[in-house]
């Protein structure tokens, strides 16, 4: 990808393409319309629970133990039971024809792990070792791994070679030290706790921001929004994600349908386009709210703040400051800092429901 192109795509997606390029007009181009009666201070939101339970830690430890389990062949019975691990070959058929990714050999599958599509594992319960059975299944709808399979039925011909039970090792300091970066079970438990806590806190912050802004958008009256501005944002974001999809195809082999399934949980391109258009409208409304907040609070951007954001983006995208400003308007960059300050004020003054009762 051409040097700096990802920078332009990303920044312009966030700035609605306004001001991108060399044009440093005295005032940045802004979206049309206005936000009325914006009650931006004290927006209530439902906080996300970031506590970590002993059950969650235990589940992580059990997963760790399963990774190092010994498989013991079952010799006192021949029927598959829930919880068994079976060694199988399988071939999938859709409308009587095999399909890509539907076959494999010498696979160890834990029954009940939900590793395969619904119906596959349960369809093997009661089957006999040394036999071949047909298992009828239906792909989930949507099916993110391959949207073309969503909701379709398939028959898998499965040969069951052997049945095993998993013998979990004892959770000891020695096992932990040999297979992790930690020396003791206690230290590994602490790591799991902190890891889960960090993950939840990151999610909680994103959840708060989305909840607060959605509530503010839904509670605000807008006038004068032009469809052209929504279209501009849609085209900008569509261009950005199309370019990003090309990168993922080159690196990971994901085609566009797989990309939108993985990142947007969309099973069709129509769903993806509808989602982008809805997001475009909300982003335009969000931008109008932020301008209203900036005006009400009389926010401004200092020369130091502007210089800092130029340096940040130049370093982030491995450009000189001159190269950055050749591609993205300096005036628009300054405007983006203004909107960031307005947005942060909204989040900083938001109130978690029930906070006053604690």
Q: What is the pLDDT of residues 261-295, one digit of tens each?
A: 888 888 789 999 999 999 999 999 999 999 999 99
pLDDT value at position 69? 92
Please give the helix or strand (H or E) that residue 316 lies within, else none. helix 303-316
User: Average pLDDT for residues 46-66, to the nearest whole number?
Assistant: 95
Instruction: Give the burial class of 143: count Cβ atoms within 10 A of its Cβ; 0-12 exposed, 13-18 middle, 19 or more buried.
Output: middle
pLDDT at 309 over 70: yes
Q: What is the pLDDT of residues 26-41, one digit of tens each?
A: 566 788 999 999 999 9
Contacts 24+ apart (CB under 8 A), 343-348: 343/213, 343/290, 343/293, 345/40, 345/293, 345/297, 345/299, 346/40, 346/41, 346/43, 346/212, 346/213, 346/216, 346/289, 346/293, 347/208, 347/209, 347/212
Q: Which residues of 4-38 are buried (b: 16+ CB within 10 A; e: fewer)?
A: beebbbbbbbbbbbbbbeeeeeeebbebebbbeeb
Highest mean pLDDT among 197-211, 259-273, 312-326: 197-211
pLDDT value at position 128? 96
E runs forming strands in the chain: 34-36, 44-45, 70-73, 85-94, 97-110, 132-138, 153-167, 221-223, 351-352
Q: Report the alpha-carbon distance of residue 148 to residue 130 in Å, rounded.
A: 33
Q: Report the alpha-carbon distance of residue 20 to residue 333 in Å, rounded.
A: 9
What CATH architecture is 70-167?
A: Roll (3.10)
pLDDT value at position 27? 62
Q: What is the pLDDT of residues 341-350, one digit of tens each?
A: 999 999 999 9
pLDDT value at position 252? 85
pLDDT at 142 over 80: no
Q: Report the alpha-carbon distance of residue 217 to residue 284 in Å, rounded.
A: 10
pLDDT at 107 over 80: yes
Cα-based distances in Å from 211 to 217, 286, 350: 10, 13, 10
- The domain limits of the chain are 5-38+220-357, 70-167
User: Average pLDDT for residues 89-111, to the nearest whole number?
Assistant: 95
pLDDT at 126 over 60: yes
């Amino acid at each position: 990808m051409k040097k700096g192109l990802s920078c332009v795509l990303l920044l312009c997606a966030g700035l609605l393409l306004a001001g991108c390029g060399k044009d440093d007009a005295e005032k940045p181009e802004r979206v049309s319309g206005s936000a009325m009666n914006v009650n931006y201070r004290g927006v209530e939101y439902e906080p996300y629970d970031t506590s970590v339970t002993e059950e969650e830690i235990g589940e992580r430890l059990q997963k760790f133990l399963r990774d190092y389990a010994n498989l013991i062949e079952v010799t006192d019975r021949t029927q598959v039971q829930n919880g068994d691990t079976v060694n199988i070959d399988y071939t999938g058929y859709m409308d009587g024809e095999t399909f890509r990714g539907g076959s494999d050999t010498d696979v160890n599958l834990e029954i009940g792990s939900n590793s395969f599509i619904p119906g596959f594992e349960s369809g093997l319960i009661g089957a006999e070792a040394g036999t071949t059975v047909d298992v009828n299944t239906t792909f989930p709808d949507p099916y993110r791994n391959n949207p073309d399979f969503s909701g379709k039925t398939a028959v898998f011909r499965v040969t069951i070679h052997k049945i095993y039970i998993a013998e979990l090792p004892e959770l000891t300091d020695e096992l932990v030290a040999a297979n992790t970066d930690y020396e003791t079970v206690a230290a590994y438990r602490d790591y799991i706790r902190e890891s889960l806590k960090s993950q939840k806190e990151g999610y909680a912050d994103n959840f708060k921001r989305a909840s607060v802004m959605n509530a503010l958008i839904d509670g605000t009256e807008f006038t004068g929004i032009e469809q052209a501005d929504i279209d501009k944002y849609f085209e900008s974001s569509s261009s950005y994600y199309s370019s990003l999809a090309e990168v993922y195809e080159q690196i990971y082999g994901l085609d566009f349908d797989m990309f939108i399934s993985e990142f947007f949980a969309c099973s069709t391109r129509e769903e993806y386009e509808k989602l982008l258009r809805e997001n475009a409208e909300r982003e335009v409304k969000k931008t109008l709210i932020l301008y209203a907040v900036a005006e009400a609070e009389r926010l401004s951007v200092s020369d130091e703040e502007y210089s800092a954001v130029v340096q940040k983006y130049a370093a982030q995208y491995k450009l000189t400051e001159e190269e950055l400003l050749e591609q993205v308007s300096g005036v628009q960059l300054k405007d983006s800092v203004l909107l960031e300050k307005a947005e942060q004020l909204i989040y900083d003054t938001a109130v978690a429901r029930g906070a006053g009762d604690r």
